[in-house]
Amino acid sequence: MLRNPLLIAVAAAAALLATACGNVASSGSSDSAPPPGITKDQITIGATLPLTGTAAVSGQGLQAGIKIAVDELNSRGGINGRKVNAIILDDGFTPDRVVTNVRRLVSQEKVYAIVAPAGSQGLPGTWQFLAQNKTPMWGPISPADPKQSEVYLLSATRASQDQVAIDYFAKKGAKRLGVIRQDNDLGVSAKLALDTQMPKHPDMQVVANETTQTGSTEVSSAVNNVMAQKPDAVLLAEDNTSSALILKQLRAQGFTGPVFADQGAAGTGGPSTVKPAGAAAEGFLGGMQSDTVSTDNPAVEHWRSLAQKYQGDQGTSGFSLQTYSYVMAFAELVKRMGDDVSYANFTRTAEGLASNPIKLGSIPDIQCGPLPTGHTCARQAGIAKYTGGKWVVEQPFMAPEGSGT
């Protein structure tokens, strides 16, 4: 039989084109493509933390919690038979390094998910990049909820903690509130809390609202301006270092009223803020996103037994319990996903937690639901007080007044 060379060439070219298109579909970024960072025997996660810089104490505690959780999971055989590999990068508490680290973790390290990161001032700069890559971010706290499929907030935001504190001040009869906040997302969260919660307490007014620079230890001007207005209570939206300095200066000027900072700034349950503050820390109030205070909580005692063996000063800090809990919650979520580890199933399973929450005991139940509001997975916060050299529960977990939760 005679063969037409032109027809043969055309057919061959068509076959090559079809093969090429098939390869693109199977290895590209489509929903059917297998996600990066996960094999039959390993799952790789990543985090960016302030291991150096002004927030290094908290960052080292956050790192400890991740490592403690990963070690425990791997000692049990991992997650569904997959050992956990955690890549943790230092951002020095610098926003642009937070963004750079997230990009590196996704693009170069090929992680499956960003788990328990910190960096409230930098993380929002990664939202679009995460969406483009469909990479889940499981566990940030501080930034406002972007209402984005890839981002899950696992504990009370800074704003929610501040709202609970404002309610507490009002119940204690405070009429004049002083505020000192940094010029970053910590300060933005405090403003959101004030805008939302103060109208619910018409008998209380903000008499001073001072701003400090991120990374600066110059807080005297802000403290002086607040004290000049004779507040009944003071709300801080600062890092650990600044919070300790402000406490010392407030007490030195004779202020004896309540002073509150969220769990990150207060280092609730640990020494990161109260130790440098010294005697000025007596009566200091810290937000609770995790139960770092109780001594009769089995879940917390289990973590504590592991944390006491950790080689590092921050192993038993509240930051450690926080990230430990978030990694263990991530493990439970992936376990529930079964054999389907696609990002689509990650979203489905996570959004199903509204009806079947993850209950760890160390943090409020994780009850993520569908967008637009369901990825703020917990709204309750507690308050602890530092008194007599130890933290004690001042107010159990509860939602802000009027939140409907």
> Domain holding 267: CATH number?
3.40.50.2300
318 and 274 part of one domain = no
Helices (H), 270-353: 274-277, 298-307, 318-337, 343-351
Residue written as token pair 């094999």: 39
Across 284-299, average pLDDT: 88
pLDDT at 153: 93
Number of domains in the chain: 2
Please give the residue range of the domain that contains residue 164. 158-288+383-398
Q: Are both 307 and 364 inside the same structural domain?
A: yes
Mean pLDDT of 230-258: 97
Tell which residue, 320, 333, 316, has the closest CA to residue 377: 333
Rank 2-11, 15-24, 126-135, 378-387 by mean pLDDT and report only the highest: 126-135
CA distance 334 to 332: 6
Q: Which pLDDT tens digit goes with each residue over 84-107?
A: 999 999 999 999 999 999 999 999
For residue 198, tell me if it sits in a domain. yes
Does one domain contain both 354 and 226? no
Whether residue 20 is contained in a domain is answered as: no
Residue 54 shares a structural domain with residue 164: no
Q: How far apart are CA 270 and CA 199, in angstroms?
A: 33
Structural element, H or E, at residue 207: strand 205-212
Measured CA to CA, the distance from residue 109 to residue 278 in angstroms comes to 42
On whether both 202 and 259 belong to a single domain, the answer is yes
5 versus 67: the higher-pLDDT residue is 67
**Distance, first Cα to last Cα, the chain:** 80
| 19 within some domain | no
Please, which pLDDT band fits residue 134 given cuts at 50, 70 and 90?
A: very high
Confidence tier at 3 by pLDDT (50, 70, 90): very low
How distant is the alpha carbon of residue 54 from its chain centre? 18
Residues 354 and 279 in one domain: no
* Residue 267 domain flag: yes
- The answer, as to whether pTM is greater than 0.95, is no
Q: Model confidence at 263, in pLDDT bands (50, 70, 90)?
A: confident
113 and 259 both lie in a single domain: no
Q: For residue 35, give both structure tokens.
A: 């996600």
Mean predicted confidence (pLDDT) in 380-392? 93
In this predicted structure, the answer to whether residue 51 has a pLDDT above a threshold of 90 is yes
Per the CB < 8 A criterion, the answer to whether 280 and 252 are in contact is: yes
- 214 plus 87 within the same structural domain: no
CA-nearest of 165, 134, 166, 163 to 150 is 134
Comparing C-alpha atoms, which of 289, 44, 53 is closest to residue 162? 289
Position 31 in a domain: no
For residues 163 and 269, membership in a common domain is answered with yes
- Residue given tokens 């307490």 in the structure block: 201
For residues 163 and 136, membership in a common domain is answered with no
199 exposure class (CB count in 10 Å sphere: 0-12, 13-18, 19+): exposed
Neighbours of 387 (CB within 10 A): 13
Please tell me whether residue 160 adopts helix, strand or coil conformation.
helix
Q: Give mean pLDDT, residues 319-323.
A: 90
Say yes or no: 248 and 260 in one domain.
yes
Tell me the backbone φ, ψ of residue 20, rounded to 5 degrees. Answer: -60, -45
DSSP E strands, 2-152: 42-49, 83-90, 113-115, 137-138, 151-152
Q: Which of 322, 392, 308, 330 is nearest to 364 (CA)?
A: 322
373-377: long-range pairs with CB below 8 Å, 24+: 373/145, 373/147, 375/145, 375/147, 375/148, 375/149, 375/151, 375/152, 375/153, 375/350, 376/145, 376/153, 376/157, 377/152, 377/153, 377/154, 377/155, 377/353
pLDDT averaged over the chain? 90
**Amino acid type, 367:** Q
Residue 404 lies inside a defined structural domain of this protein: no
Q: How far apart are CA 255 and CA 249, in angstroms?
A: 9
CB 51 within 8 A of CB 60: yes
Those residues whose C-beta lies under 8 Å from the C-beta of residue 370, and which sit 6 or more positions away, are 351, 354
* Residue 29 within a domain: no
pLDDT band at 32 (very low <50, low <70, confident <90, very high): low
- Tell me, yes or no, whether 2 lies in a domain: no
Same structural domain, 356 and 319: yes
Any idea which residue has 């995790």 for tokens? 290
| Mean pLDDT, rounded, for 159-184 | 96
